[in-house]
Every structure is written in structure tokens, then in C-alpha cells.
Amino acid sequence: MHRQPFGLLLLAPVLFAAACPSDEAKGPTGTAYHCSGCSQVPEALAASDNLPSGRYKGVIVGDGVTGNIEAYIPADQTAESPIASLTINGQGSYINNGTQPALQPVFYSAPVTLRMSLSATGEVTSATLTFKDGKQAIAIVRKELSTKLVEAFEGTWTTPAQTVGTVLTGNWNYVLQDGIVYGGYDGDDNGTVTGSEALTILTLTAPAGAGTRNDDGVTGTGTVAGSAITWTGKRTL
């Protein structure tokens, strides 16, 4: 198995519509999937809407890594430290305590470090992850506002074997805020793809296209290098 590069896509034009449950969007009992621990309304306070303090949510995707991020930066860091919770590969949370200035918070834990750069109004200008075991991954993080909920989804994408000669698949994670998708992907081929074909298929834009949302489950279709792909995911934050 050959691991291919992962990429980042912002402002992807994914169109969602409500529909009857599909198999991919169903929960374990056959009903529509629902994230019971996910907030349905913004948790952010209006007082932090135009400041670097407040709540930040996002996803992680990369070399064998998938997960989500939830960070909180207090208005007064002399009284309370910034803190972030990272859930990686569905195996628990890494709690990171931050001690850096509000515009450049750094969250440390044993396996991973998260560094963020923020504007004076709290816009995320960059977010990077460093794993001590050498893994590579990207973080897609958005600031939640009192009027704009941030939802995080984790899923996968697949392209048919007959289209490109082998099955290509990978993680496709994104956050949804105010009707806009901010996503990232990684690619993994399960056969032999060489030369420009591999580069074209796996370094193009992240899978995007028509999508259907059923509660907190999502499915969709798109195109990667002229090849039809399907993608599916579930809300995790």
C-alpha cells in the first residue's frame, strides 16, 4: 500500500439537501445517524465574537490520522489557561493546555502539538499539528460565533476500480459553518498507480459535489480527475 499526499480545500461548493436515509447515512440500528454529543446551537458567547478569545472547532486529516479539535481561549489568560481537546482515530481525547499569547496559542500533549495563529478578531490564519511519532496531518479549524455554529464531519471517499484501474480511497473530513464547507483529504491507493495518473488523481481538489444530509449523516458524489467518486461521513463535533 502506498500512501499519497494529503491536501486542503477551502470554500468547497458542496450542495446539501434533505432526503430519506441512505445506507451510508444510517446509524447502527438502521435509523438516521444522530450525534448525541454534538451541540445543535452555537456554544460561543457574543462577547468573544470579534476577539481572539472564544471557542474553536475543527477536524484533523492526514497520514493514518483522522479526528477533531475543540479549543477554548479565555478572554483573561492570567486567570485561566487556554485548553484544547483533540480526538484522534476515535481512541480518546488528548487534552492540551496552552500557555502562549492569545494570537498564537500553542497546545501541548505527549503525542501531538497544536499551533494556531489568530487575527485580532479571532480568524484562524493557520493551524498546524506536529506528531512526535512522525505522522503528518493538517488541521482545519474555524472560530464559532454566537450566531454561527461550527459542525465537524469525518468520512471517507472512494473512486470505482474500473475508472482508474484500481480502487482509490481516503479520508475526507470537513467543517461546516454558515453554509460553507472547509475540508481536507488524504489519499491511499490499494493497488499500483504510477506517474502523472497518481499525481493527478490524488493531489487535485478534495472530493466535492452534490451531497445529502440526513440528520448528522452525510453522503454525496463528486469528481476527482474526471473520475466519479462517492463520499460519506458523520458529524463528530
Dist. CA 178–CA 192, nearest whole Å = 40
CB 106 within 8 A of CB 115: yes
Amino acid 33: pLDDT: 87
Instruction: Summarize the confidence of residues 82-88 as an average pLDDT.
Output: 89
For residue 70, name the pLDDT band (cuts at 50, 70, 90).
Answer: very high
Helices (H), the chain: 161-164, 195-203
Is it the case that residue 200 has pLDDT exceeding 50?
no
Instruction: Summarize the confidence of residues 15-33 as an average pLDDT.
Output: 49
Amino acid 152: pLDDT: 94
Dist. CA 3–CA 16, nearest whole Å = 30
Amino acid 223: pLDDT: 65
Is it the case that residue 160 has pLDDT exceeding 60?
yes
**CA-CA distances (angstroms) from residue 51 to 44, 58, 116, 119, 145?**
12, 18, 15, 8, 10
Amino acid 54: pLDDT: 93
Cα angle 82, 49, 129; round to 5: 40
The proportion of the chain whose per-residue pLDDT surpasses 70, expressed as a percent, equals 71
What is the number of other CB atoms lying within 10 angstroms of the CB of residue 91?
8
3-state helix, strand, coil in the chain (%, to 5): 5, 55, 40
Dist. CA 153–CA 57, nearest whole Å = 11
Amino acid 203: pLDDT: 30
Most confident of 20-29, 99-108, 138-147: 138-147
